[in-house]
Structure 1
């Protein structure tokens, strides 16, 4: 199948009715789902999985997409934070994972990956029964259905975003990102045999967000999701 996507246009420009080639997207996009109009026929559920390494923008865009599509937003990271609370941690703010307590919990997860299995099982159960946008590190590998997006960005961009979010020097942000990437890849390799960040086979779209702002990523993905599900 030929690559199909929407171009990135100026915010004041209308989106084109027909998709054009987009060099930032490196995976094929499935054909739009044809929704049957027969009375009593149930439409296909809308399940969108947004995945990517830390500081690629997955949580931010997933929240906006869920609101625009009028469906529930679920965060794997927030579910893990709830487990952390039950373990006596006090997670708060998006930068908690980069703080000493968040990194300590990451180490605990590495020694006991059952935390992640519990969260993933809950996400799978939820995505199997209702319309939802999920941001999750690994759900795209575990879920049979759904529209799956992998967001990526180069290390400099990710470190700059993390440094701005957490108020830390760039070199510290890079060190933390490398630790988080390594620990997370190890956890999911041991749990599921997944090569996080290198195996992109489950994804409908792989989008490089380097140099893109939040609104550009959101508008592009919203257009692709609507195209896929035949929404207006």
Structure 2
């Protein structure tokens, strides 16, 4: 088994910031559907080499033109999604940023899938902090438009609605709606505190998952990690919509149907 984390969520929900921190902590490769699509755009379409260096490429004229190309043909998205699905099966540690992959994986798989959820107002505010030259009203409309277009592309291609995903396809679901109430800081400080909180939640579960995919697993270490996970869950349970309950109990963790591995004291 290998460390495979899929992180998913709508535009400006904060996937990239969290995914990059997961990559650093667990020494994994970062594979991003938006970045792969951007590279394809640079190779095959009239998109400049500097595209994507500024935040939110999808807000630029080049980004909007590329979206029109994707709407005309879903083959680009199909190629990217199939490539990322292949990456899940490869023997290396990876973090995959994709809306589609968690919903396309078999029901029983050994990847750890995370869904980040936030309402439109929260996502607009997050996008505005990195694109403050646009009014919040206009940015809100842009986010809504991108959601709709992405939904239409993927629904036409794969048949699912990414704006209403089935939560049973995810191991961990973090919901931003009540996070703002738990964070007192303002503006950029607030955003950083929200990221820190979500990372604390993610790491508490992923530390256990990382142990479980090792060829040799220490029950003593797992016991300490499950205890820490219980503390984090107790503190932040209002924003955790779904989680692997077995991760809070070592006896239940022992019952999980993982690949055969060496269990040590």
Report the equivalent of 2:158. Answer: 192
Of the structure 1 ranges 101-110 and 79-88, higher mean CA displacement relative to structure 2 is found in 101-110
Asked if structure 2 preserves the Cα contact closer than 8 Å seen for 1:209 and 1:217, the reply is no
- How many residues are aligned here? 189
Report the equivalent of 1:226. Answer: 207
> Residue 174 in 1 paired to residue 117 in 2?
no
Question: In structure 1, how many angstroms separate the alpha carbons of the residues matched to 2:15 and 2:101?
Answer: 13
Report the equivalent of 1:139. Answer: 101
Q: Which has the higher helix share?
A: 2
> Residue 156 in 1 paired to residue 154 in 2?
no
**Per-residue deviation, 1:204:** 1.1
SS of 1:213's partner is helix
Report the equivalent of 1:28. Answer: none
Question: In the TM superposition, what are the counterparts of 1:66-215 in structure 2 within 5 Å?
Answer: 66-86=23-43, 87-90=45-48, 91-92=51-52, 93-129=54-90, 130-144=92-106, 145=109, 146-167=111-132, 168-200=134-166, 201-210=168-177, 211=180, 213-215=194-196
SS of 1:117's partner is helix
User: How large is the RMSD of aligned CA atoms in angstroms?
Assistant: 1.5
SS of 1:196's partner is coil
Report the equivalent of 1:217. Answer: 198
- Relative to the length of structure 2, the TM-score reads 0.68
Structure 2 residue ranges without an equivalent (≥5): 181-192, 213-220, 222-265
Question: In structure 2, how many angstroms separate the alpha carbons of the residues matched to 1:111 and 1:203?
Answer: 30
**Per-residue deviation, 1:139:** 0.7
4+ long deviations beyond 2 Å: 209-212, 227-232
**Per-residue deviation, 1:214:** 1.2
Rg bigger for which structure? 2
Question: In structure 2, how many angstroms separate the alpha carbons of the residues matched to 1:104 and 1:178?
Answer: 17
SS of 2:121's partner is helix
- Relative to the length of structure 1, the TM-score reads 0.77
Structure 1 residue ranges without an equivalent (≥5): 1-43
